[in-house]
Amino acid sequence: MNPHLLTILIFLPLAAATSMLLVPSAKKAAYKYMALTTGLLQLVLSGAMYHLFHPKGAGITDERLYQFVDHVPWIRLDMGSLGRLEIDYFIGVDGLSMPFLFLTSLVMLIAIGASWHVQKRVKGYFILLMVLDMAVMGVFSALDFFLFYIFYELMLLPLYFLIGIWGGARREYAAIKFFLYTLFGSVFMLLIIVGLYFSVINPETGAHTFNMLHMMDAANYVPDSLFSAIAQRELFGMPARLLGFIVLFIAFAIKVPIVPLHTWLPDAHVEAPTPVSIILAGILLKIGGYGILRVCLSIFPDAALQSAWWLGLIGVVSITYGALVALAQRDLKRMIAYSSVSHMGFVLLGIASLTAAGTAGAVFQMISHGFLSAALFFLVGMLYDRVHDRDIYHFRGLASLMPRFTVFVAIAFFASLGLPGFSAFIGEAFVIIGAFNAESIHGLLPRWMAISGSVGILLSAAYFLWTLQRMFFGQPRLKGGVEWAAALSDASPRETLIMVPMLALAFLLGIYPALALDNINASVLALVELVTGN
């Protein structure tokens, strides 16, 4: 087994992007095929890694329990009285990140497939896509906080341009909104990172370190430092560790997104081109959830325990609020965007439950939502490509015109609303079961939260079915009349080729969740143990 497999996986897209730079701009087709090749290679690579991954050995705080680890000193700088700067190129995979790596490579491939007909500045587009790919992979595998932050910020840049250049009518507004929102979170994150850096010492070298795994161990904190659990320092009148947790949580929660901070999402999703919407919904939102698990919970377990109730509340509010707003939407893409808010609320609820079932359910829900939201946005994109309209009331009876498309939509809708047999069901059901168990296990979440969360399942059925009824059933009646009817051809072979694997995967995970859960489980158990102590 090549020890640098993970590095290859991360930087493969960068290599592709570099070679794309060398290809003259006139050869538009070359870029697509290069990107496709990269995507396929990545998929194969991450698939192989997924296969090689050993589920039992995964843990959270111990480097030995990570797999595919690449740990090289990167920046060593003597800073005089401030000690030595120790930044490592430190990447590795555990049960939390492995599924996301696979998800990323798959969704990226889908996105590349969805970009097949991009006409505008093809070269720049695919290069940005590749850079984004690299950054996302890096975020999911970085174990050095500094490295993590670099990848995290690097991710923003291509997205900003992808939305801002290739987006819809209000693309600039959306791009800037998205950028500022995320930057708002990450800037404060940087402060906490620096604070952590000065609080934590590498037990082997005695230098301050950015190593996340060291940050997770309370013994590595300088006794009187800002974030030391023993020192109980206060900052702005609140415990410093709690503050650190909250700031990091907000940074990631913006990505998730949680309800008061969600308004970038509908705009960004609606204005972004279809492939970027797919990436946004399929991967980007997951970075928020992953960050909360990997960073907030692991580094500040005590603060996480204190705030679990609030996290759960935010989750519940997101679930119901997102679902209700989705119910009122006229724009199909916007409706799906709000449904993402609702579905990601389940993730938060599951994380807040701090039970193995709830947290594993949350991770599973993220993966499932990755496939399904990608599929949903792709489907909306198909419709939009044909008639450049997305208003729900402008369509009626599409089932008669586009039967295969309708089948896809119906499957995706039902899978999203939690029909058993599809992955979302397992995720949502176990989030609710976990949230329910929380009271009897450690009493962090009251049971009414689980019950309110389940109302979200009901509402999601309401808006999805209502949309299905309004747009797809009934006698065909289109705003654009005959012209539209002619334009609305059924799903093409390319589109079918993209849709089928995604829906098949959602189905496969739904009937055999062990495929993902086996890998997730050990890490989730370790995480829950780290936080709750049992």
Partner 1 sequence: MPAYTLTYPLLAALSAVLLPFAAFLLTAVLGKKAKHGTISIVAISLSLLAAGYAFTQVWGNTPIHIQWHWFTIGRHAFHVGLLLDNMAVLMLVLVCLIALPVHCYSIAYMRGDPGIHRYWAYLSLFCFAMLGLVVADNLLLMYICWELVGFASYLLIGFWYTRDAAVQANKKAFIVNRIGDIGFLLGIAILHSSFGTLDIQALFGPQGLLTAPMGADTPAIAAEGTITSGWLTVAGLAFFLGTMAKSAQFPLHVWLPDAMEGPTSVSSLIHAATMVAAGVFLLARVFPIFDDTTLLVITTTGTVTAFAAAYFALAQYDIKKILAFSTISQLGFMMVGIGIGMYHVALFHLVTHAFFKCLLFLSAGAIIHGMQHAKEKHQLDIDPQDIRHMGGLRRHMPLTFTTMLIASLALAGFPFTAGYLSKDALLVHAFEWAALHGEAAIAIPLVLVIVSILTSFYIFRLLAKVFFARPSVLANNDIHIHEASRWMLAPMAFLAFCSLFPIFTFHPLNDGQVWLLHGLVAEAPTLPPLRPLHILVPALATAATLVMATLAWRWYVNGHYPIRTKGVLYRLSERQGYLNELYDAIIVRPLLKLSLLLLWIDHHVVDGAINGMATAGRSLAGIAAWIDYHLVDGLIRLVGNLAWGAGHVLRRSQTGRVQQYVALVFFIVLVILLYHIFAQA
Q: Which residues contact 280 (CB under 8 A, 6 or more apart)?
A: 159, 265, 268, 269, 272
Q: Which is nearer to partner 1, 38 or 329 (CB)?
A: 329
- Residue 462, interface with partner 1 (CB under 8 A)? yes
Query: Which member of 263, 489, 492, 496 binds partner 1 (CB under 8 A)?
Result: 263
Q: Which is nearer to partner 1, 40 or 451 (CB)?
A: 451
CB of 312 to partner 1, least distance (A): 15
Computed on alpha carbons and rounded to an integer, the radius of gyration of the chain in Å comes to 23
Residue type, 457: I
Piece of the chain touching partner 1 by CB under 8 A; list 42-50, 77-85, 308-316, 426-434: 426-434
- Residue 490, interface with partner 1 (CB under 8 A)? no
- Residue 205, interface with partner 1 (CB under 8 A)? no
Tokens 């609020």 belong to which residue? Answer: 321
Q: Which is nearer to partner 1, 81 or 440 (CB)?
A: 440
Q: Which is nearer to partner 1, 130 or 335 (CB)?
A: 335
CB of 140 to partner 1, least distance (A): 22
Piece of the chain touching partner 1 by CB under 8 A; list 125-133, 272-280, 343-351, 430-438: 430-438
Query: Which member of 44, 82, 180, 486 binds partner 1 (CB under 8 A)?
Result: 180
CA dist., res. 164 & res. 172, Å (int): 5
φ, ψ of residue 4 in degrees (nearest 5): -100, 25
CB of 282 to partner 1, least distance (A): 23
Residue 463 contacts residue 328 (beta carbons within 8 Å)? no
- Please return the burial class of 97, using the count of CB atoms within 10 Å of its CB with bins 0-12, 13-18 and 19+: buried
Q: Which is nearer to partner 1, 355 or 368 (CB)?
A: 355
CB of 158 to partner 1, least distance (A): 23
Tokens (6 digits) for 217? 């161990």
φ, ψ of residue 190 in degrees (nearest 5): -60, -40
Q: Which is nearer to partner 1, 27 or 447 (CB)?
A: 447
- Residue 188, interface with partner 1 (CB under 8 A)? no
CB of 534 to partner 1, least distance (A): 11
CA dist., res. 501 & res. 352, Å (int): 32
CB of 485 to partner 1, least distance (A): 15
Provide the 3-class DSSP secondary structure of residue 502: helix
User: CB 136: neighbour CB atoms within 10 A?
Assistant: 30
Q: Which is nearer to partner 1, 203 or 420 (CB)?
A: 420
- Residue 329, interface with partner 1 (CB under 8 A)? yes
Residue 398 contacts residue 405 (beta carbons within 8 Å)? yes
Q: Which is nearer to partner 1, 142 or 438 (CB)?
A: 438
Residue type, 467: T
> Which H helix or E strand runs over 88?
strand 84-93
- Residue 513, interface with partner 1 (CB under 8 A)? yes
- Residue 148, interface with partner 1 (CB under 8 A)? no
Tokens 């290679």 belong to which residue? Answer: 41
Residue 126 contacts residue 34 (beta carbons within 8 Å)? yes
Q: What share of the chain is helix, strand, coil (3-state, %, to 5)?
A: 75, 5, 20
- Residue 42, interface with partner 1 (CB under 8 A)? no
Q: Which is nearer to partner 1, 45 or 268 (CB)?
A: 268
CA dist., res. 267 & res. 285, Å (int): 14
Q: Which is nearer to partner 1, 46 or 460 (CB)?
A: 460
Provide the 3-class DSSP secondary structure of residue 206: coil
φ, ψ of residue 74 in degrees (nearest 5): -115, -65
- Residue 250, interface with partner 1 (CB under 8 A)? no
CA torsion angle 158 160 161 167 (round to 10): 130
- Residue 5, interface with partner 1 (CB under 8 A)? no
| Contact residues for partner 1, defined by CB under 8 A | 177, 180-181, 259-260, 262-264, 321, 324-329, 355-357, 360-361, 397, 399-400, 414, 419-421, 425, 429-430, 432-434, 436-437, 439-441, 450-451, 454-455, 457-458, 461-462, 465-466, 468-469, 472-475, 512-514, 517-518, 521, 524-525, 528
